[in-house]
């Protein structure tokens, strides 16, 4: 691990975000399970009782979105790894191009490389790094959307539970 404070701060933030996502998913699943356990089906009518099954639906959607958020965050991390790996390989090709007069090697993989092959291999790695970065950005945008919708449905589910309990005496 590097001694750079920025990398330690980034790792801490990423770990915190991941733990929070797992916590929210667990909380949502637990709330859903508790309500299902205590739920007694009734004929649906325009009474506060209709809010309870509605809250179950909202919590189920929120749980699904929480899982999608976790999945997208994991994909972002995988794409970031690929981006960095390909960029480092391209850097190895650049370094080799600057040093080689005969047959060289890639300092990261140990692969023997003829000087005429270096520019082509470097371009391939640069292209792969760019594609991985674009995929990472796409998954990051998806993770943000899942985050917003998860929170919206979770809040709506909790609100529906609260209203159903609050309005039951008035039915």
**Stronger pLDDT, 64 or 101, i.e. the higher one:** 64
pTM confidence score:
0.72
Domain ranges of the chain: 5-170
pLDDT at 51 over 50: yes
Rounded Cα distance, 155 and 148, in Å: 11
Terminal-residue alpha carbon distance, the chain? 61
**Stronger pLDDT, 106 or 34, i.e. the higher one:** 34
Confidence (pLDDT) at 1? 47
For residue range 6-31, what is the model confidence (pLDDT) as tens digits?
778 878 888 888 999 999 999 999 99
Confidence (pLDDT) at 109? 63
């Amino acid at each position: 691990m590097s001694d750079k404070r920025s990398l330690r701060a980034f790792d801490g933030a990423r770990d915190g975000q991941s733990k929070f996502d797992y916590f929210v998913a667990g909380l949502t699943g637990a709330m859903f399970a508790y309500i299902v356990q205590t739920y007694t089906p009734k004929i649906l009518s325009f009474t506060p009782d209709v809010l309870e099954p509605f809250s179950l639906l909202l919590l189920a959607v929120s749980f699904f979105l929480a899982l999608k958020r976790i999945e997208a965050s994991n994909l972002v991390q995988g794409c970031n790894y690929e981006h960095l790996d390909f960029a480092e390989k391209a850097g190895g090709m650049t370094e080799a191009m600057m040093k080689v007069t005969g047959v060289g090697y890639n300092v990261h993989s140990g692969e023997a490389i003829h000087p005429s092959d270096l520019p082509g291999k470097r371009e391939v790695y640069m292209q792969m790094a760019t594609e991985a970065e674009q995929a990472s950005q796409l998954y990051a945008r998806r993770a943000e959307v899942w985050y917003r919708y998860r929170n919206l449905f979770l809040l709506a589910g909790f609100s529906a539970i609260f209203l159903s309990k609050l309005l039951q005496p008035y039915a």
